[in-house]
């Protein structure tokens, strides 16, 4: 059985592409007692409010008809953002050479965040070039990796 986010992604991808955008991610999360369905889109020259509105307007009735979510929820379409989370191997491959912030589950040398240039990604293991040289992280250490505008 597919997860809600996978079902929504299947519905959202062609809509995003029709509007010249890429589907970046789908989240279905509960915050302060309310469910939120968030569809994140991207395109090379950046996302504007018009892009979000166009995708939202077309996708909303498709979601209503397909009815992939039984709970009531707030539906949002937004930009993936300049400092977006990298999740899939293709995300990491696309942003090799970019600035990132690596967040760890447990502190290393008293720190849980390391900032640098993404040098490699292999099987979940990550290497960045930090201010004092290369730093390698095993997949199990890393809780999240986000793009970082300033390194």
Question: Can you list the residues of the chain whose pLDDT is less than 70?
Answer: 1
One domain for residues 73 and 10: yes
One domain for residues 8 and 75: yes
Q: What is the largest CA-CA distance in the chain?
A: 54
Mean of pLDDT over the chain: 95
| Domain that residue 143 falls in | 85-147
One domain for residues 97 and 37: no
Supply the pTM of this predicted model.
0.84
* CATH, residue 122: 2.30.30.180
Q: What is the pLDDT of residues 25-42, one digit of tens each?
A: 999 999 999 999 999 999
Domain count, the chain: 2
The alpha carbon dihedral of 140, 144, 149, 151 has a sign of: negative
One domain for residues 73 and 109: no
One domain for residues 66 and 106: no
The neighbouring-strand residues paired with 103 are: 113, 144
One domain for residues 10 and 55: yes
* CATH, residue 45: 3.30.300.70
> Which of 21, 56, 79 is the endpoint of a domain?
79
Distance separating alpha carbons of residues 83 and 24, to the nearest angstrom: 13
Q: Which residues contact 112 (CB under 8 A, 6 or more apart)?
A: 103, 104, 105, 106
One domain for residues 50 and 70: yes
In whole angstroms, how far apart are CA 118 and each of 16, 17, 52, 79, 89? Answer: 28, 28, 29, 22, 13
**pLDDT confidence of residue 3:** 92
């Amino acid at each position: 059985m597919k997860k809600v986010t996978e079902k929504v992604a299947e519905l959202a991808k062609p809509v995003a592409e029709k509007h010249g955008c890429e589907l970046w991610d789908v989240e279905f999360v509960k915050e302060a007692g309310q469910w939120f369905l968030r569809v994140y889109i991207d395109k090379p020259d950046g996302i504007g409010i018009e892009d979000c509105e166009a995708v939202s307007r077309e996708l909303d009735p498709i979601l209503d008809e397909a009815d992939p979510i039984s709970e009531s929820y707030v539906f949002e379409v937004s930009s993936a953002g300049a400092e977006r989370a990298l999740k899939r191997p293709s995300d990491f491959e696309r942003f090799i050479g970019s600035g990132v912030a690596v967040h760890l589950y447990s502190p290393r040398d008293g720190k849980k965040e390391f900032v640098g240039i993404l040098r490699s990604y292999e099987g979940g293991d990550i290497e960045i070039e930090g201010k004092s040289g290369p730093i390698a992280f095993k997949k199990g250490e890393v809780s999240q990796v986000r793009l970082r505008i300033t390194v």
